[in-house]
Structure 1
Amino acid sequence: MSSRHLILLLSGLEVLAILPIASFPALLTDFIAAWDLTKTEAGWIAGVYYLGYMLLVTPAVTLTDRFDARTVFVLGCAVTGISTLAFAVFADGFWSGFLLRAIGGAGQAAVYMPGLRALTDRLKGGEQSRAVTFYTASYSIAISLSFTVTGLLAERYGWRISFAVVGIACLVSAVAAWVALKPQPPQHANGRPLFALKPVLRNRDAMGYIIGYAAHGFELTAMRAWLTAFLVFVLARDAAVAASLPSPTVLAAIITLIGLPASLLGNELALKIGRRRALVLIMGISGLMGLVLGFTAGLPVWAVLVYSAVYYVFIGGDSGALTAGMLAAAEPAHRGSTMAVHSAFGFGISVLGPLCVGLALDQVEHAAGGQSIVTWGIGLAVMGLGALLGPVALLWTARKAAASPGV
């Protein structure tokens, strides 16, 4: 199989396997009403997906140092698919939704990074950087399709059928990966510990990208979880305009799809002006825009949609460059461990994004006596504050690494 076909295959399988990720956020306002959830409870169900991911990602990714990443990827797709089908059949409130989404997130721990490892293990040299960026950018396609497929199917057939369809897509991805990818065990799989944390923590260059990725994840998952609900609020303020537009779910899908070219362009900018410089610029602008997003609800609807789309360009513009930077900085003997820390820390912090925004919204709404532009402004500003930690970490670790070149 040519490298181009391999990249397209793994990216396509990634899209199918990740389809359930935004299913709950896409219908968040419906679940709040149907299950009588507080915004904090809704934030927990949206965020626990990433908690499940965090708890399993270290063993899942480090196993790719010992076993073929193809096998790990297939198992992850299967667990995600089965748990999503179970959600479609059994979920009926906070605790059942919480548990089944957590299991789905645990399955995803064996999908995204093991899939990336399965791709890079089958490529050589210069093919890897742009392949990594294309693969990570395909994540945006998966998110957009997750919003779109979930929303459209739910409108026509109900949310249970919608969840069942995306669960089946995961199982299709598992079968296709097992059939299409040739086995390829990792080189030098024996003779060393399966997981080595200390070498990763000592690698200050890699840790800068890892902390930056965590800040990116906090902002991204918060935006993904609350974008549809925010658009529901914005459109409710102008019913005439809302009637001429697609549903908030479809609008959210269109906005998130913009993340695909953003990630590719962000990586190309990093190749031209330097990875850290590009990331500090992109993440700095993104964080500042996040501080303002909620307050734009007072603007005309078209202005809110444009602002949200531009903001999502900057949110998505750093993902590929952060992951490519981590892989480039990783020691070859500890690549699996570095990828595991990258994912565990990044997605572990991602749990807090939807939850912190939900908590902020609940507290401000309680104090103000209901939803308003100010409550959404303060609640969503939490995203921007989290994102701004990324460029700070990149600059700090770069300075530390320069001061101790021998470490």
Structure 2
Amino acid sequence: MSILKGNTPLMLLAQIGALLGFAAYAVTLTTLQNEWGLSNFESGLIASSFFVGYVLLVPFATALTDQMDARRIYLFGSTLAISGLLGMGFLANDFYSACLCMAINGAGLAATYMPGLKILSDRLTQGEITRHISFYTAFFGVGTGLSYVVSGWVLNLGDWHHVYRWLALGPTISLLIVYFCVRPMHDVHWHDRIVINWRDIFPVAKWQQVLQDRNASGFILGYTFHSLELFASRSWLVAFFILSTQLSGEQFFLAATTLAGVINFFGVPASILGNELALKIGRQKWICIVMITSAIFGVALAYSMGHASWLILALAIGHAIFIMADSATLTAGLVTSADPKIKGAAMGLHSLMGFGGGLLGPAIFGFVLDLSGSQTDRISWICAYASIVIWGVLFVIYERRKGWVH
């Protein structure tokens, strides 16, 4: 297979390493909450600060890939990710220091994920690009799933500091792979001088054109609410499993962190197969079906807290599948509906809005947990899950009234 040749296997391995610290905070959330006396809102804000770092840096990181070899940006991003994780492992001791370290870690992902894609595309021939890129994007789910599993293993072996210290090896390995195994591009004339053009980094005029397109704006708004629900769920799922076990007294057959990782893997085929179904019944119709179903599973999962472990596990898998079942469809819908003249700006806005939703989700979830009562109360968790799935339901109602769904 051509996918096994060239730089692609190296970049797939590098991406797994770069994402190894992704779920470290979700795994240690309950531990840090107890040790530092954090409220649920503060716990959610620390998770959200990861996406703050991502959103702040990603416009610059992606714009600079047109002016220099993306390999250089990737190395810088790996260094940021290493710094953020080691900062959490050695320096963080309260809410504010944790927010700073997590933001640095998120900025590291911003300078590795899309630049990593650019490393691949710059070194591939035109006919090969699509297949290699599909593998690269699918490995995001593989990397985040492994992050839960490995973080949980390390946490079981020592205190929470060791999770971040050991997982910093992930982006370190990524840095070494790209530095030693991916050759610099010398046959391309890059800019002798880096020029920061704010209109290129924040193309507001083009973004306005994108949002005026009824189809494109619908896919972008849908992706925003999809990401809000997705990243909120990923941030709080381990805590949900731990508290559910405490309430029922019944242990799962796997550790909570390993379960979260395994469940996360279901999202990879769900996204791919969901896109195939969307092509048969219509993208907009499929997105609406998935968002409503995901909302039902989310609330049902919260209601199952303290019940039989098999029921909780089944609902958690169902929720994970339907959260991701419209992910590829939303992105593919935007790519095919956007005006070719401004497609790059459309994709940039799509990514920015998506991770903006990821920024809001964990904080909203924690805020509602605080507002609705005790963290050990099932009603509070129902309210918290409802607060993140309701946006998809409102999106469906709004878009159907506007005639987006044909």
Pairwise same-fold verdict (TM > 0.5): yes
3-state SS of 1:59 partner? helix
The answer to whether structure 1 residue 70 and structure 2 residue 71 are counterparts is yes
3-state SS of 2:376 partner? coil
3-state SS of 1:297 partner? coil
Equivalent in the alignment of 1:226: 236
Higher mean Cα deviation, 342-351 or 173-182?
Answer: 173-182
Q: Is the 8 A contact 2:70 2:116 kept in 1?
A: yes
Separation (CA, whole Å) in 2 of partners of 1:13 and 1:332: 31
Separation (CA, whole Å) in 2 of partners of 1:396 and 1:70: 46
Separation (CA, whole Å) in 1 of partners of 2:292 and 2:208: 25
The answer to whether structure 1 residue 354 and structure 2 residue 354 are counterparts is no
**How far apart are residue 42 of structure 1 and its match?**
0.6
Q: Is the 8 A contact 2:149 2:258 kept in 1?
A: yes
Separation (CA, whole Å) in 1 of partners of 2:70 and 2:178: 11
Separation (CA, whole Å) in 2 of partners of 1:114 and 1:16: 15
Query: Is the alpha carbon distance of 1:312 and 1:399 closer, same or farther for their aligned partners in structure 2, counting shifts above 3 Å?
Result: closer
**How far apart are residue 64 of structure 1 and its match?**
2.2
Query: Is the alpha carbon distance of 1:110 and 1:395 closer, same or farther for their aligned partners in structure 2, counting shifts above 3 Å?
Result: farther
Equivalent in the alignment of 2:388: 383
Equivalent in the alignment of 1:194: 200
**How much identity, in percent, do the aligned residues show?**
33
Which residue identity is paired with 2:349? Answer: V
Q: Deviation digits for residues 287-340 of structure 1, max 9, x if unmatched?
A: 332233211225322101111011101112222333333344455665553333
Q: How does 1:191-270 map to 2 (within 5 A)?
A: 194-195=200-201, 196-203=203-210, 204=213, 205-239=215-249, 241-242=250-251, 245-270=253-278
Q: Is the 8 A contact 1:293 1:308 kept in 2?
A: yes
Q: Deviation digits for residues 55-109 of structure 1, max 9, x if unmatched?
A: 1111112222333333322221221112211211111111111111111112211
Separation (CA, whole Å) in 2 of partners of 1:374 and 1:309: 21
Equivalent in the alignment of 1:405: none
Higher mean Cα deviation, 269-278 or 338-347?
Answer: 269-278
Which residue identity is paired with 1:377? Answer: I
Gapped regions of structure 2 (runs ≥ 5): none
Q: Deviation digits for residues 213-235 of structure 1, max 9, x if unmatched?
A: 21111001110111111111211
Separation (CA, whole Å) in 2 of partners of 1:397 and 1:166: 46
Q: Is the 8 A contact 1:288 1:388 kept in 2?
A: no
Equivalent in the alignment of 2:10: 9
**How far apart are residue 165 of structure 1 and its match?**
1.8
Q: Is the 8 A contact 2:83 2:104 kept in 1?
A: no
Which residue identity is paired with 1:228? Answer: V
The answer to whether structure 1 residue 176 and structure 2 residue 183 are counterparts is no
Equivalent in the alignment of 2:152: 151
Equivalent in the alignment of 1:300: 308
Separation (CA, whole Å) in 2 of partners of 1:160 and 1:201: 45
Q: Is the 8 A contact 2:231 2:362 kept in 1?
A: yes
Backbone CA RMSD of aligned residues = 3.0
Q: How does 1:131-142 map to 2 (within 5 A)?
A: 131-142=132-143
What count of residue pairs does the alignment treat as equivalent?
A: 396
Q: Is the 8 A contact 2:247 2:376 kept in 1?
A: no
Gapped regions of structure 1 (runs ≥ 5): 403-407
Higher mean Cα deviation, 346-355 or 257-266?
Answer: 257-266
**How far apart are residue 113 of structure 1 and its match?**
2.2
Normalising by structure 2, what TM-score? 0.87
Q: Is the 8 A contact 1:3 1:123 kept in 2?
A: no
Which residue identity is paired with 1:355? Answer: A
Q: Deviation digits for residues 261-301 of structure 1, max 9, x if unmatched?
A: 21222233334444434333323322332233211225322
Separation (CA, whole Å) in 2 of partners of 1:394 and 1:189: 43
Equivalent in the alignment of 1:33: 34
Normalising by structure 1, what TM-score? 0.87
Query: Is the alpha carbon distance of 1:348 and 1:253 closer, same or farther for their aligned partners in structure 2, counting shifts above 3 Å?
Result: same
Separation (CA, whole Å) in 2 of partners of 1:74 and 1:328: 32
Which residue identity is paired with 2:206? Answer: P
